[in-house]
Amino acid sequence: MSAKSTWIISYLKLSNMENYANCCHIAMDKRRNVLMWILYFMSEFCLSSNQVLRIGGIFETRENEPVSVEELAFKFAVTSINRNRTLMPNTTLTYDIQRVNLFDSFEASRRVCDQLALGVVAVFGPSHSSSVSAVQSICNALEVPHIQTRWKHPSVDNKDTFYINLYPEYSAISRAILDIVTFMKWKSVTIVYEDSTGLMRMQELIKAPSKNNLKVRIRQLPSGSSDARPLLKEMKKGKECFVIFDCSYKMAAELLKQLMSMGMMTEYYHFFFTTLDLFALDLEPYRFTGVNMTAFRMLNLDSPVVSSVMERWSMERLQALPKADTILQNRIMTTEAALMYDAVFMVAVASQRATQMTVSSLQCHRHKPWRYGPRFMNLFREARWDGLTGRIVLNKTDGLRRDFDLELISLKEDKNAKIGVWNSFTGLNLTEARKDNTNDSESLFNRTLIVTTILENPYVMYKKSDKVLYGNDRFEGYCLDLLKELSNILGFTYEVKLVSDGKYGAQNDKGEWNGMVRELIDNIADLAVAPLTITYVREKVIDFSKPFMTLGISILYRKPNGTNPGVFSFLNPLTPDIWMYVLLACLGVSCVLFAIARFSPYEWYNPHPCNPASDVVQNNFTLLNSFWFGVGALMRQGTEVMPKALSTRIVGGIWWFFTLIIISSYTANLAAFLTVERMDSPIASADDLAKQTKIEYGAVRDGSTMTFFKKSKISTYEKMWAFMSSRKNTALMKNNREGITRVLTTDYALLMESTSIEYISQRNCNLTQVGGLIDSKGYGVGTPIGSPYRDKVTIAILQLQEEGKLHMMKEKWWRGNGCPEEDKKEANALGVENIGGIFIVLAAGLVLSVFVAIGEFIYKARKNSDIEECVSFSAVMEELSISFRCLRGTKRRARGRGRAGLASPLCHPKRTLRKETVT
């Protein structure tokens, strides 16, 4: 029974009551009549408030999809609104659906006119650009809102005043992709688009190279065919590892299968899909491949409201179309369906705010617009709604959705992880889960890695066994132990393979690489665990971990034979400089001794003690005797001449001390020279090699050592490379084993790493290292460039280093049977730096003796002044001249001359006065 009928029955009852109560007054009749009309008008108002609101939907049909997803979402939203009366309690929402063929804009125009004639408040669809333009022009003319949920490039003139699109604004999507590329720190990127609209969406990224130093390569998927394998093959060959695919989710599903078949689903590739429905696909086959796959998502699946709607959608889809959309995961709602759902709800929100709005029939040929169209359009733009795709806020000017959030989702082994949120105003914000990072061993746990290596003792060697060995059991060595420790820490398994060409990796003149480096570049191997040197040129094409061993280039050469001692080998304990200085010291001391002995009055004595009155005095230190005294002391023999004065005794004592030190040092070093066999090598450093051509030298071909000399700008090393390159056939070896054999059999020096020399010299006593290290470098674990394993391997190596396991492994493999220990202390001649101090002591002693001699002379002169009153200066000089002119050692004693000469400082005034008084 309707509301209107209920009010009429009430009215009849009141009339019967009125007839029954005739005793009522006339005034009461008037009041009843007024109340009757009020009740009548209220019933009419209630009937009119429960109105019906119609919306129109135009959807395109395809051969393989008779009912589009947007149409299903359109019906699903209308049903949900009518089922839950909280949003529109007094209004029933109905719809009119028209289906048109794809690309048929004329049919779309005719269908929208039919819907407008029925009276609709808004028109949804279609999706194709040509049909959209036709429908939009009609809606603009009749002022009826036209609602879109797919990406559409805005019109140039911006005259679509009745156009609304809930799909994110195109330039914001482009900025979001550019922010992701910047965040990932990609230096080069390949854009693969499906149609021309993709280039419009990528315009910010295409313009980025001029600003961000980004290398962009653009490719298009083949039109009319879903087979993109030829294109993917070119990309794989060109090492295009960072790719952005702009395509629909259906094409993305096909691309994923083809990428898997092409072997591109590895951790060395990073794929970004612009479709917002990538994670609605079934991605289980690719979850454990290690590939980096990222995309945006608008649906917030963490919300309970969204999850509830998704469950109801899945159940209804399962009942309506049990075999449809098998590529979607659990028939999940796509972004297009969610946007259509939100768009219908936005109409409901806007209609609730519209009062006294009537929907009239519109005729396309009359061009009479809907009178409430502009008002309803403003209400729609002002509406706010928290939908399945987030907070919906429209721009009041153009009706576009400019404020929105995009969740950044990454494919992980356990789940699809949300690593960030991009907002159209604030940009990219990382979530805490991304910042905290996961455990380092997660991406390597239970993963099998291909490891390339090379046979090189003691790093990788064939294991000696009586049984036939297979797989990794065939090898042993330092690198195998290192691999085992890394796998224990990181939890991965590995398969060891020898490099096909047996080379480490070098670049030829054409820029092409070989060896293990080539296999890493081609992603044939995941790791290169070998004595692979970290160099600048290699670091540009592959990545290295922190070095697990530090070393340098040195020279491997035969041990030199011992030399027989020469006839004058007794002179070897002292350097020629010391011998010369000793000779000069002997001559110098002899001369000083002669001079001081002549100067000192105490070295003169009376040769005739029985005749005290004799004026003849004698001095034993003639020039010859002084020299003989020095030689006798140097030879550790005594002489019959001995000093008497204090000054001469100081000279003699300091000379004896000097000879004691010199002879003791000589004797000690002579014993070392007699017991140590001298090993004279024709070369002692790289400079010696560069200066000669008799001894041939070289390195291993296409190794880091050869590359070092080839790229070096130091003159010595450039000269050495010129020598090696001029004799490539004989100077450059195929491997270390061939080079060692060459060193043992011919006059050849091999330039190689110091660690290898250390290992070889421990096992072959005829070989040794010559000179020091030419450079300093390290061995590292190689990975393809951009590999996620590099940092994890580095952390594991640092852990092994701190635990001391790297040192223990080296001791295990480098320690051999050992050669007989040789006394490496060579007997070196003593030089000035060893015994130069004794010469200083000798010089100081001589200076001291000179001052003592002067003191003796003055003292003797003043003593004589007591007798002779005063000694004149001229008398003193005469006495000295007589002493030095007399070379035979005898002279006549000088007599005093009283006051005849000039007064001298040697006069004693008091004593002079006393003697004068006596006189």
DSSP codes, 14-68: HHHHHHH-TTS-HHHHHHHHHHHHHHHHHHHHHHHHSEEEEEEEEEEEBTTBSS-
pTM of the model: 0.64
Residue 279 clears pLDDT 70, i.e. is over it: yes
Instruction: Give 36-95 pLDDT, tens digit per residue.
Output: 444 434 444 433 446 889 999 999 887 777 788 889 999 999 999 998 888 888 888 999
Instruction: Give 868-881 pLDDT, tens digit per residue.
Output: 544 455 555 655 56
User: For residue 561, what pLDDT is reported?
Assistant: 66
Q: Burial of 568 by CB count in 10 Å (0-12 exposed, 13-18 middle, 19+ buried)?
A: exposed
Instruction: Give 673-725 pLDDT, tens digit per residue.
Output: 776 655 567 788 888 888 888 889 999 888 878 888 888 889 899 999 999 98
Among 30-34, 650-654, 696-700, whose mean pLDDT is lowest?
Answer: 30-34
User: For residue 343, what pLDDT is reported?
Assistant: 94
Residue 752 clears pLDDT 70, i.e. is over it: yes
Among 528-532, 614-618, 769-773, 867-871, whose mean pLDDT is lowest?
Answer: 867-871
The one-letter amino acid code at 543 reads D
User: For residue 322, what pLDDT is reported?
Assistant: 57
Cis peptide before 304 (omega within 30 of 0): no
Distance separating alpha carbons of residues 376 and 605, to the nearest angstrom: 144
Beta strand 616-618 pairing with 890-892: antiparallel
**CA dist 375 → 337, 356, 372 (Å):** 27, 11, 5
The band of 321, judged by pLDDT with boundaries at 50, 70 and 90, is low
Contacts of 532 (CB under 8 A, 6+ apart): 504, 505, 516, 517, 538, 544, 704, 779, 780, 781, 782
Strand partners, 616: 892
Q: For the packed helices 478-490 and 805-814, what is the interaxial angle rounded to 10 degrees?
A: 160
E strand map for 508-552: 527-528, 542-544, 549-551
Strand partners, 387: 390
Average pLDDT, the chain: 80
Residue 806 clears pLDDT 60, i.e. is over it: yes
Instruction: Give 550-559 pLDDT, tens digit per residue.
Output: 888 999 988 8
Name which residue leads in pLDDT, 23 or 832.
832
The three-state secondary structure class of 383 is: coil
Strand partners, 218: 191
Largest CA distance in the chain: 198
Q: Burial of 48 by CB count in 10 Å (0-12 exposed, 13-18 middle, 19+ buried)?
A: exposed
* Four-CA torsion 744, 748, 749, 752, nearest 10 degrees: -70
Residue 142 clears pLDDT 90, i.e. is over it: yes
The band of 902, judged by pLDDT with boundaries at 50, 70 and 90, is very low
Alpha helices in 152-192 (DSSP H): 170-184
Name which residue leads in pLDDT, 679 or 828.
828
Name which residue leads in pLDDT, 902 or 674.
674
Name which residue leads in pLDDT, 563 or 497.
497
Rounded to 5°, the CA angle 447-452-454 comes to 150
Instruction: Give 161-178 pLDDT, tens digit per residue.
Output: 888 999 988 788 888 998
Distance separating alpha carbons of residues 513 and 520, to the nearest angstrom: 10
Distance separating alpha carbons of residues 623 and 590, to the nearest angstrom: 7
The band of 294, judged by pLDDT with boundaries at 50, 70 and 90, is very high
The three-state secondary structure class of 555 is: strand
Name which residue leads in pLDDT, 357 or 191.
191
Contacts of 123 (CB under 8 A, 6+ apart): 55, 56, 57, 58, 112, 115, 116, 135, 139, 144, 145, 146, 147
The band of 482, judged by pLDDT with boundaries at 50, 70 and 90, is very high
